[in-house]
């Protein structure tokens, strides 16, 4: 549902996230007992805090981070981290395909190289994506990549 909303309207509905958090909390309480609440809360908060820098840099949307926190609350931080890594791979493939399709692959790779160089040289944390400068065509629905990444992790890494 989150991926569908992101693909069609570029938004992850907060009701989906809240429902996921509630279900994850209930799941954790049921299977872990009273300590499940603390385990769930810790997993969700650590995931949000760890990915917040990517939100500040405009590399990840708030809905994407909250979706990963839902996965973390249900499955734990390790599965969320693996899902994020898989999602970055999937998202990179989607981005490359989109860049090739619209003819700006070289421009985006050049911009990325310049952005990383400036970040390393100056330490200045500027937003990577600026809508007024970059437009909408460079954006991919990352929650779709998260969904695919989670499925890959579920099938291949968890067995």
Provide the percentage of residues in the chain whose pLDDT is more than 70. Answer: 97
Q: What is the pLDDT of residue 125?
A: 81
Q: What is the pLDDT of residue 145?
A: 93
Q: What is the pLDDT of residues 85-131, one digit of tens each?
A: 999 999 999 999 988 998 989 998 998 899 889 888 998 888 888 88
**Greater pLDDT, 24 or 11:** 24
**Greater pLDDT, 154 or 72:** 72
Residue 67 confidence (pLDDT) above 80? yes
Structural domain containing residue 62: 2-157
Q: What is the mean pLDDT of residues 12-40?
A: 92
**Greater pLDDT, 7 or 109:** 109
The three-state (H, E, C) secondary structure of the chain, written as one string: CHHHHHHHHCCCCHHHHHHHHHHHHHHHHHHHCCHHHHHHHHHHHHHHHHHHHHHHCCCCCHHHHHHHHHHHHHHCHHHHHHHHHHHHHHHHHHHHHHHHHHCCHHHHHHHHHHHHHHHHHHCCCCCCCCHHHHCCCCCCCHHHHHHHHHHHHHHHHCC
Number of separate domains in the chain = 1
How would residue 136 be classed by pLDDT, with cut points 50, 70 and 90?
Answer: confident
Q: What is the pLDDT of residue 8?
A: 77
Average model confidence (pLDDT) across the chain: 89
How would residue 159 be classed by pLDDT, with cut points 50, 70 and 90?
Answer: low
Q: What is the pLDDT of residue 149?
A: 93
């Amino acid at each position: 549902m989150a991926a569908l909303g992101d693909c069609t309207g570029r938004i992850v509905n907060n009701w989906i996230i809240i429902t996921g958090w509630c279900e994850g909390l209930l799941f954790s309480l049921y299977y872990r007992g009273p300590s499940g609440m603390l385990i769930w809360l810790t997993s969700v908060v650590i995931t949000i805090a760890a990915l917040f820098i990517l939100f500040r840099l405009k590399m990840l949307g708030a809905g994407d981070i909250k979706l990963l926190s839902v996965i973390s609350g249900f499955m734990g931080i390790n599965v969320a981290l693996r899902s994020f890594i898989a999602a970055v791979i999937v998202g990179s493939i989607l981005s490359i395909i989109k860049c090739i399709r619209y003819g700006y692959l070289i421009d985006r790779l050049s911009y990325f190289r310049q952005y990383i160089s400036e970040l390393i040289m100056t330490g200045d944390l500027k937003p990577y994506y600026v809508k007024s400068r970059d437009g909408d065509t460079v954006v991919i629905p990352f929650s779709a990549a998260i969904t695919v990444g989670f499925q890959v992790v579920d099938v291949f890494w968890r067995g």
